Structure 1
C-alpha cells in the first residue's frame, strides 16, 4: 500500500512511518520542515496549500493526518485537513485516517469524572481546532477513520491498547505510548470495520 503521512517527520507520524515501512508499505511524508524518516519519500511544504496537498495525495492508497498546531495559526489542523480532504476528493483517493484527541467531538464523556471536565478546560483551544477538523472529515465523502488518543508518551510500547467508540461501555484512562498508537493506526488503515468510526484509545 502507498501511504502518505501528513506531518510524519516526528512524533506519532514518524513512528507510523517506520512501522509502515517495516510492514512493506511505501511511505511518503509531507513536512513543512523537510524532515523525514529513513527510506521514506519526502515532500517539503505546507499541506494547507492546495498544490502541496494535491501532490501529496496523488497516487496514494491511503492518507494519514497527524499534524499538530502551529504558532499563530489557531486552526492549523483544520486548515490542513480541509485542504487534504479536497485534494483527495478531487483525485479519487478514498482512505483517510486522522489523529485527533480524546475530548474532541463530545468524547470527553469517555474520560472518568473530573478528568473529562479538566480536559475540556485546559485543552479548550486545541480541542476547538480538533472539533472543526473532525467536522471536515465527517462531512467528506471519504472512507474515514478518526483516532482520539489520550495523553501521548514516548515510553516503550506495551503492545496493547483499548479502543472504544463514544457509544461503547467503559472509560479510557491514563496515556498511550506513541508506538502503540502508531501500531493501532496501521491496523486501522487495513480494517474496513474502522471506516466511518471515531475511536478513543488508551493503554487501558
Structure 2
C-alpha cells in the first residue's frame, strides 16, 4: 500500500511512518521540516496548501493526518485537514484516517464523567480545533476514519488496546503509547468496516 502521512516527522506520525515502512508499505511523509524516519520518503512543505498536499498524495492508496497544534493558530489541525481533503479530491485519493482526540465530537460519552469534565476545562482550545477538524472530515467525500486516542505517552508498545465507538458499552481513559496508536491506525487503513467510523482508543 502507498501511504502518505501528513505530519510524519515526529510524534505519532513518525511512529506510524516507521511502522508502515518496516511492514513493506511505500511511505511518504509531508512536514514543514522535511524529516522522516529511515526508509520513508520525506517532503518538506506547507500542509495548509492544497496544491502541496495534492502533489504529496498523488497516487496514494491512503492518507493519514497526525498533525498537532501550532503556536499562533488555534485551528491549525482544522486548517491542515481542510487542505488535505481538498488536495485529496484534486489528486483522486479517497482513503483518509485522521488522528483526533477523545473528548472531541460526541466521544465524551466514552469517558467517565469526572474525566469528561476535566477534559472540557483543561483542553477546551485543542478540543474546539478537533471538533472543527472532525466536522470537515465527516462532511467530506473521502472514505474516512477518525481515531480518538486518550492521553499519549512514549512508553514502549504493549501490543494491545481497547477501541470503542460511541454507543458501545464501556469507558475509556488513562493513556496509550504512541506506538500502539500507530499500530491501530495502520491496521484501520486496511479495515473497510471502519470507513465512516469515529473510534476512541486507550490502553
Alpha carbons 2:8, 2:66 under 8 Å: kept: yes
Partner of 2:106: 106
Q: Distance in 1 between matches of 2:128 and 2:117?
A: 15
1:144 aligns with 2:140: no
Partner of 1:159: 159
Q: Distance in 2 between matches of 1:32 and 1:79?
A: 14
Partner of 1:170: 170
Match of 1:8, SS state, is coil
Match of 1:179, SS state, is helix
Matches within 5 A, 1:2-151: 2-151=2-151
The unaligned stretches of length 5 or more in structure 1 are: none
Q: Distance in 2 between matches of 1:26 and 1:19?
A: 11
Match of 2:104, SS state, is strand
Alpha-carbon deviations, 1:119-163, whole Å to 9, x = none? Answer: 011000000000000000000111000000000000011110000
Partner of 2:189: 189
Q: Structure 1 residue 87: deviation in Å?
A: 1.2
Q: Which runs of 4+ in 1 moved over 3 A?
A: none
Q: Cα RMSD between the aligned structures?
A: 0.7
TM-score of the aligned structures, taking structure 1 as reference length: 0.98
